[in-house]
Structure 1
Amino acid sequence: MEKKQTIKQYCHQFRLGGIYNQIDQLVSAAEAAGIGYLEYTVNLLKTEAVHRDYNDTQKRLKTAQLPRSSDLNLFQCKNDSGLSKARLNQLRELNWLDQVYNILLTGPSGTGKSMLAAGLCADAVQKGYKAYFRDMEGLINMFKMKDFSASAKIEYKRLSKAHLIVIDDLMSFPIEKNHAVSFF
């Protein structure tokens, strides 16, 4: 028991949260299976890697600021929307993102453009991309404030390193000419 406590202290010191939380189960499984040192070490490191990947994904999802309805598994492809199930699956593969293509979703209100865009953004985050969901008004305000506000400057730097920025409600409110020029 004292050795497990020592291991937990080292895990805390080295910030190995995955191993720290799972050490009891890992030791019990290793003892029951009679595995060797190398396999046990691999299991320890694999546990930590899974834990860190999960935490990293959760952090990116939070930073992306996705709306609640961003699960494309719930998206219904209708004949009148002009998007087939096959095309949706093709978009979800994110090849367009790897090939640095832009996508512009247009159509009447209520057809699911925002949900589709948010879902593609969520898929990108899940696959490890730096993807962000912002509305046009928030972006314009950030551009105005980036020279005066530390938080706006941080947001500007974050977005400048993004793989994907989803801009919701593009051109849905009037923009002054000088702000439009700086945006585009």
Structure 2
Amino acid sequence: MQQLNAELKQHMKTLRISEAAGILDNLLMEAEKKGFTYQEFLYKLIKHEVKRRDEKSMERRLKQAAFPEHKTLEEFNISEQKSLSKKQLKQLKELQWLEQAYNLILLGPPGVGKTFIATGLGLEAVHSGYKVSFITMDDLVQVLKTQEITRGSKTKLKRIIASDLVIIDDLMFLAMDRHEGNLFFQLINKLYGQSSVIITSNKGPEDWGELLGDQAIATAILDRLIHRSEVINLTGDSYRMTHRETIFGNN
């Protein structure tokens, strides 16, 4: 019997159902003890394989997303952001815009929750089975500039292009030259119509021409980003400043 089980597990691994193979012995003992039917035994075996595959897939998507931190939308204090209602946040969380390949542009001064909301929506997308990539604009420019000379950048760019949702954080934090702006346009052009993009920026689209190094490039990028998009202007005081910690306590 042991030899049969060993061969059975080996065949299961060959068929790439190794997670089920890992519980075979224990499940056989449980089946004998509780009197499982053949159907019940097979159901539990396959259910475990599917569950572990789903868990591993989610772990892999979370790792590839490269979020700076895992803050969910439930942790976002919507009462401190008067320019976005609970109803609107709920609509965003439902991800219908992602299913329809819409873009989101989150504008506002530092600390009002742009990155928080973008990350929270990214996490919702990962948990819903979508492939997500999070990257700051500064890092993205470096990836674009070095894609032809480093394997890491080439791999990262390939992953970004294959994503269902691309989050670009801090657009316009640093000004770009014309070459960098053109590389950015090429990326946006590839994503156009096939992936959703979330952009966070403390500068409005009217200022992007100067910061992208070329007004024509900025116009072409805006044309593709805003064609199917929702522009959300966030206001208020900086959350980090309001909730800053002090070494002196409350005294």
TM-score > 0.5 by shorter chain: yes
Partner of 2:72: 71
Give the TM-score normalised by the residue count of structure 1: 0.89
The answer to which structure has the higher strand fraction is: 2
State how far apart, in whole Å, the 1-side matches of 2:42 and 2:144 are.
49
State how far apart, in whole Å, the 2-side matches of 1:104 and 1:65 are.
20
Tell me: CA distance 1:18–1:176, structure 2 relative to 1, closer, same or farther (3 Å): same
Partner of 1:136: 137
**SS at structure 1 position matched to 2:23:** helix
**SS at structure 2 position matched to 1:166:** strand
State how far apart, in whole Å, the 2-side matches of 1:135 and 1:43 are.
43
Deviations 1:85-132 (A, max 9, x none): 221111111000011111001112111110110111111111111111
State how far apart, in whole Å, the 2-side matches of 1:80 and 1:122 are.
20
Q: Which amino acid aligns with 1:51?
A: R
Partner of 1:171: 172
State how far apart, in whole Å, the 1-side matches of 2:19 and 2:74 are.
29
Tell me: CA distance 1:140–1:55, structure 2 relative to 1, closer, same or farther (3 Å): same
Which structure 2 residue ranges, 5 or more long, are not aligned?
186-251
Q: Which amino acid aligns with 2:162?
A: K
The answer to which structure has the higher helix fraction is: 1
State how far apart, in whole Å, the 1-side matches of 2:81 and 2:11 are.
59
Q: Which amino acid aligns with 2:163?
A: A
Which structure 1 residue ranges, 5 or more long, are not aligned?
none
Is 1:182 the equivalent of 2:183? yes
78-87 or 157-166, which moves further after superposition?
78-87
Partner of 1:87: 88
Q: Which has the higher contact order (CA 8 A, sep 6+)?
A: 2
- Please tell me whether the aligned partners of residues 144 and 157 of structure 2 are also in contact (alpha carbons under 8 angstroms): yes
**SS at structure 1 position matched to 2:156:** helix
- Please tell me whether the aligned partners of residues 18 and 51 of structure 1 are also in contact (alpha carbons under 8 angstroms): yes
Equivalent residue runs for 1:13-28 within 5 Å: 13-28=14-29
- Please tell me whether the aligned partners of residues 17 and 51 of structure 1 are also in contact (alpha carbons under 8 angstroms): no
Partner of 2:114: 113
Tell me: CA distance 1:76–1:50, structure 2 relative to 1, closer, same or farther (3 Å): same
**SS at structure 2 position matched to 1:103:** strand
State how far apart, in whole Å, the 2-side matches of 1:89 and 1:105 are.
16
Q: Which amino acid aligns with 1:83?
A: L
Displacement after TM superposition at 1:20 (Å): 3.1
Backbone CA RMSD of aligned residues? 1.9
The structure that has the greater radius of gyration is 2
State how far apart, in whole Å, the 2-side matches of 1:28 and 1:72 are.
43
- Please tell me whether the aligned partners of residues 81 and 111 of structure 1 are also in contact (alpha carbons under 8 angstroms): no
**SS at structure 1 position matched to 2:78:** coil
Is 1:152 the equivalent of 2:180? no
State how far apart, in whole Å, the 2-side matches of 1:131 and 1:93 are.
16
Partner of 2:54: 53
**SS at structure 2 position matched to 1:78:** helix
Deviations 1:58-103 (A, max 9, x none): 0010010012242112111025441222211111110000111110
Give the TM-score normalised by the residue count of structure 2: 0.67
**SS at structure 1 position matched to 2:135:** strand
Displacement after TM superposition at 1:42 (Å): 2.2
